[in-house]
Structure 1
Amino acid sequence: MVKAALRGLCAAVLAILPLAITPPVHAAETLPLAEAVERLPLGTESRDGYSRDKFRHWNAGDDPADGCNTRAEVLIDEAVEMPAVGPGCRLTDGRWWSYYDATWVTAASGLDIDHMVPLAEAWDSGASAWTAQRREKYANDQGAPESLVAVTARSNRSKADQDPAQWLPPAAEAHCRYTAEWVGTKLRWDLAADNAELDALAAVTLDCEHQTVTYEPAE
């Protein structure tokens, strides 16, 4: 009887052991935009020591075997009409929608891949304390579709490294989506926001009553 009890105890321990050693899974969460803005931590931003070279990009992408770097993989993923992929991952034909300025684009060379939260802004907001490996992961993040966005070169360069207190997309109908994706990216990477940024985000939410934010914390 004692042996039977011990066997039962061992079986119970073995049954729960995988749960004890399995790391927790960060589940995606969906929030109203206004509530998501309130979750952003307030911080004082500093650009001291920043260089784009501290964020290695574009790397070999999610599938190094395909010969395409992160930029090309994002272009392929976001194409409305799929481009032809030639040697060296050269993209021809295809069609893309640049939602920042409500513009159709039919040449990959006319597109930039925008970091939703620019590298300089990420540095200011907390990435300065990250390892080089984490900054590379951020700069090539394909784990959330809003992290990297294919848009016209002119809209991306107009935005540069500005936050929503300084720049919003020229297409007014894009403001709710853009703000939600900005906030979701900051929450995903646990990046802070300064007072002016928080005020600007809160102002946009007034016209975005039904907008939600979905994000999953980055590993």
Structure 2
Amino acid sequence: MRTRSGSRAALAATLAAALLLGASGCVPVDEPNPDVSPTRGGNALEELSELTVASAGAMKGYSRARFPHWRDTGTNCDVRDTVLKRDGENIKLSGCNVVGGRWESVYDGRAFTDPSDVDIDHVVPLANAWRSGADEWDDAKRGDFANDTTRPQLIAVSASSNRAKGDQDPSQWKPANRSYWCQYAEHWITVKHHWRLTVTSAEKAALTDMLEGCTWASKP
């Protein structure tokens, strides 16, 4: 019969063994991998396959005013401030206005400390969305799209890269920073999939090529 002191000794030995294994890296720990986003693995390719392929629609009737932005988020503050605060470091505020900080543009690797040098890019441009089905929405829904901070639709980047991109899709423009291509393709797909926007055949081919260059996107 095992005594109480024997049970304690056995428990102590078990705990010591567990600690030893943990120190050697042999005990799996359920921790999120910060380098793996929710759409990685098969989901980005799966979502891409679910997008409707169609020719780009006409620009008739389009204007940026049909996508009301930026929405107010406080006194003299709006969604632009929200994204600047989220994407920057050492943020300086005046009330809820972002007046300083540091931002690194993932499109081209350039860094800035003046928020006036930073643009908030719509990953899927408003004009592209219009040609992809948003022309059939009402202005309220287009406003939801233009101010969407839930999906990876808004990002702080250099003004020069944002303006070079314009309303082009990934078959026409890609970030100069090639190491960002995988994430850029993921984000583009996530936004189009959620908002049920179409892609052109050239756009889908470019996204497929970008994903196939990602090691995590390889099929098992």
- What TM-score range do you get, normalising by the shorter chain? 0.7 to 0.9
Structure number with bigger Rg = 2
Query: Displacement of 1:93 after TM fit?
Result: 2.7
* C-alpha contact (below 8 Å) 1:180/1:211 kept by paired residues: no
Taking the aligned partners of 1:110 and 1:149, their CA distance within structure 2 comes to: 14
* C-alpha contact (below 8 Å) 2:133/2:198 kept by paired residues: yes
Match of 1:118 among 98, 107, 125: 125
Q: Secondary structure at the match of 1:157?
A: helix
Matched, 1:179 2:191: no
- The residue identity in structure 2 corresponding to 1:72 is D
Taking the aligned partners of 1:114 and 1:211, their CA distance within structure 2 comes to: 25
Q: Secondary structure at the match of 1:102?
A: coil
Matched, 1:70 2:76: no
Taking the aligned partners of 2:60 and 2:199, their CA distance within structure 1 comes to: 16
What are structure 2's unaligned runs of at least 5 residues? 1-37
Taking the aligned partners of 1:34 and 1:130, their CA distance within structure 2 comes to: 27
With the length of structure 1 as denominator, give the TM-score of the two structures: 0.76
Query: Displacement of 1:211 after TM fit?
Result: 4.6
Q: Structure 1's 211 and 76: CA in aligned 2 closer, same or farther, altered over 3 A?
A: farther
Taking the aligned partners of 2:179 and 2:217, their CA distance within structure 1 comes to: 12
Match of 1:160 among 150, 163, 166: 166
Percent of paired sites with the same residue? 38
Matched, 1:83 2:94: no
Aligned residue number for residue 103 of structure 1:
110
Q: Secondary structure at the match of 1:142?
A: coil
What are structure 1's unaligned runs of at least 5 residues? 1-28, 213-219
* C-alpha contact (below 8 Å) 2:93/2:100 kept by paired residues: no
Query: Displacement of 1:66 after TM fit?
Result: 5.1
Match of 1:130 among 132, 137, 142: 137
Matched, 1:37 2:44: no
Q: Secondary structure at the match of 2:101?
A: coil
* C-alpha contact (below 8 Å) 2:105/2:158 kept by paired residues: yes
Query: Displacement of 1:196 after TM fit?
Result: 1.0
Taking the aligned partners of 1:117 and 1:51, their CA distance within structure 2 comes to: 15
Aligned residue number for residue 67 of structure 2:
55
Taking the aligned partners of 1:70 and 1:141, their CA distance within structure 2 comes to: 9
Q: CA RMSD in A?
A: 1.7
Query: Displacement of 1:124 after TM fit?
Result: 0.5
Q: Secondary structure at the match of 1:49?
A: coil
